[in-house]
Every structure is written in C-alpha cells, then in structure tokens.
Amino acid sequence: MTLPPAPPRDRAFGHDALVVCDNVVRIYQTETVEVQALQGLDLLVDRGELIAVVGASGSGKSTLLNVLAGTDAPTAGKVRVAGHDLTDLTRTEQVHYRRHVVGFVRQQAARNLVPYLTAAQVVQLPMTIAGTPARTRATRADELLDLLGVAHCRDRRPVEMSGGEQQRVSIAVALANDPQLLLADEPTGELDSETAAEVFSALRTVNRELGATVVVVTHDAAVSGQVARTVAIRDGRTSSEVLRSEETDGAPATAEEYAVMDRAGRVQLPREYREALALTRRVRLALAADHVEIRSSSDRDGDA
Ligand SMILES: Nc1ncnc2c1ncn2[C@@H]1O[C@H](COP(=O)(O)OP(=O)(O)OP(=O)(O)O)[C@@H](O)[C@H]1O
C-alpha cells in the first residue's frame, strides 16, 4: 500500500514540556549486585498537569521522583525540568534547584515536618533559608495553610494534628518557595481512605489554584482514578498510560488505556496478548490504512 506523506519531524523531544525524561537509566551498584532501577525511561509532563505514577513495588517510582527532585543522579540519559538540565548542575545550581524549582512531599509526615515547630513556623522555614523577608514569610505561610484547609493548625505542632492535617501542612511546606513542580511520593500511603481523599483533594487544589505541576506516586487506585493522566511504570520504563476525560453535561467521563511507544518506536505488548496469540521472539508487522497489524510468525519459529 502507499504510505501517507510523513508529518514534519518533531522538534527537540519535549521542547515545550516542563519535565523531560529522555532515555533515563539509573543503575545502583552494590558490592554483590547491580540493580537497574530505571531502564531507559521516557516521560514528558506538561506545565500545569497533575499526573499519577503507578507501578508494582520495585518498579522504579521512587527512583524517578528522586531523580526529578535532584537528590539522585541518573547513570545515563537526559532529565530536564523547567529548563534545568539535571545531569549538568553545579553544586550552587543544585541548591537553587532544590530550594526553588521543586517541592517534595514524602509518605511519612514526620519526615516533612519538625516536631517542635508549629505549622506556621515549619512552612516559613524554607522561606527563611531562601532569605525571604519576615513579613512576606508570615503572609505566605498563612495563605498556604488557608488554601490547604489547615489554617486552624497554624499554631499547632505535629503531635497536635491528625495524619491528614500533617500531610496538608507538608504540602504547604513543599510549596513555600513557590516551586514549579510538586513531587509527592505516596503522600496518602499511611492514611485511611477518607483522609487520603482529603489530602489528594488538597493536591488538586494547589494544581488548580496555584498552577503547580504535580507528579504523585501512588498505590491508591482511588487516586489514579481521579486524575486526567496515570502513567504506569514497569521494570524501570513507562509502559502504559490511562487518559481520562472530565465529565461534561450529558457526557460521562471516559478512560482509555494506551501503550507507550518510546522514541525508537518500541512498544511493550501486554503479557496476556502475547500469551493469547503465542507471540514470541519474532512477529510479522503490516501497515494498514489506519492501524498496524502484529501477527504471530510461529510457522517460522525455530529459525536461527
Ligand atoms: N540505594 C539503592 N541501592 C540499591 N538498590 C536500590 C536503591 N534504591 C532502590 N534500589 C532498587 O531499585 C529498584 C527500584 O526501586 P524504587 O524504590 O525506585 O521502586 P518503587 O517502585 O518506588 O518501589 P516501592 O513501591 O516499593 O516504593 C528496586 O529493585 C530497589 O531495590
């Protein structure tokens, strides 16, 4: 068949995305073993998106967040966030990046807060370190606590707050220096489902009201069910994405799952598809008018 004319070539991969992961590899080397935590991961996140990252334990989710946070460096590949090339930062740039460009919320609220500081004081802490004037610090801390629905915790220390309140204050701390990217690693992991929904709703609020781009790692199916885009990581690579449309009057919300194709054209076929048609080693590809066919080549299997 005649191929349609090729579209113009892409500009630089993800040239207008806020987050660009291009073939990112992270290998942990210990004395006895080598673990490939990220194995050529590609990911683009646009400014203003809120995405969920899901995947089995050990698939590389936390490694990805640590790389994006600038606290871990990839072994190979490119990572760019808001124009900062994370594989090429000087010490000073690294400090600036972690202080101003990204905010991080960890699963354990205790690691986000300080036991002897009140909510207002702990939200002001990153601003003090950044040299923000006292009056601005106090006003911004109050505004953030208010936006996150925890203004009543202003003068309370962590022990005087519930788990959900602690995590909402943690989000305020992460947003103190107005980062462009907010990263959250299982922020609802230690909460019951009702409290988890409140914390997740707070993440949606900051995404909507402050325009922060949010990447949240979660095991919580309810969370990934509420975002427009869920990216699944398998064996250190992005393997599939679910895109959801919002419910509009009359039309129900829809969710559609897509396989991810990398820049070299590689797509991972789900195991159940491969098993159903006994697809192994080699397959036949054929281009049709609006799709590509993949067929078993079992008749020729066994060839060298
Ligand atoms: N510092 C490290 N040294 C050695 N191996 C590591 C290190 N950190 C992570 N790994 C390994 O890298 C792989 C990916 O780990 P990672 O923590 O990113 O997975 P995850 O998807 O976040 O898992 P979980 O959902 O359990 O938190 C795992 O096999 C893990 O054991």
Residue type, 129: I
**How many Cβ atoms from other residues are within 10 Å of residue 43's Cβ?**
23
Architecture of domain 19-259: 3-Layer(aba) Sandwich (3.40)
Which residues is 102 bridged to in the sheet?
Answer: 181
Residue 8, pLDDT score: 63
Q: Which residue has the tokens 């010490």?
A: 91
Indicate whether residue 30 lines ligand 1 (CB < 6 A).
Answer: yes
Q: What is the model's pLDDT at position 10? A: 56
Phi, psi of 172 (to 5 degrees): -60, -40
Is the distance from the beta carbon of residue 62 to the nearest atom of ligand 1 less than 6 Å? yes
What is the predicted pLDDT for the residue at 182? 97
CA-CA distances (angstroms) from residue 147 to 165, 211, 216, 283, 289? 13, 13, 19, 54, 51
Helix (H, G, I), strand (E, B) or coil at 144: helix
pLDDT for 219? 80
Residue nearest to atom 17 of ligand 1 (CA): 62
Predicted-complex ipTM score: 0.95
74, 66, 58, 59: which is closest to 25 by C-alpha? Answer: 74
| Pairwise CA distance, residues 57 & 141, whole Å | 35
pLDDT tens digits, 54-93? 988 889 999 999 999 999 999 999 999 999 999 888 899 9
Q: Can you list the residues of the chain whose pLDDT is less than 50?
A: 301-304
Amino acid 109: pLDDT:
85
The residues spanned by each domain of the chain are: 19-259, 271-300
Prediction pTM value: 0.88
* pLDDT score, position 299: 52
Residue nearest to atom 25 of ligand 1 (CA): 57
Answer whether 58 contacts ligand 1 (Cβ < 6 A): yes
Cα 28 to ligand 1 centre (Å): 9
Determine the distance separating the centroid of ligand 1 and the alpha carbon of 233, expressed in angstroms: 13
100/113 Cα distance (integer angstroms): 18
User: What pLDDT, on the 0 to 100 scale, is given for residue 2?
Assistant: 66
The set of residues, in sequence order, having a beta carbon less than 8 Å from that of 174 and lying 6+ positions away, is 103, 104, 105, 112, 182, 184
CA of 142 to the centre of ligand 1 (A): 37
Integer Cα distance of 139 and 57 in angstroms: 40
Pocket test for ligand 1, best of 26, 43, 63 (most atoms within 8 A of CB): 63
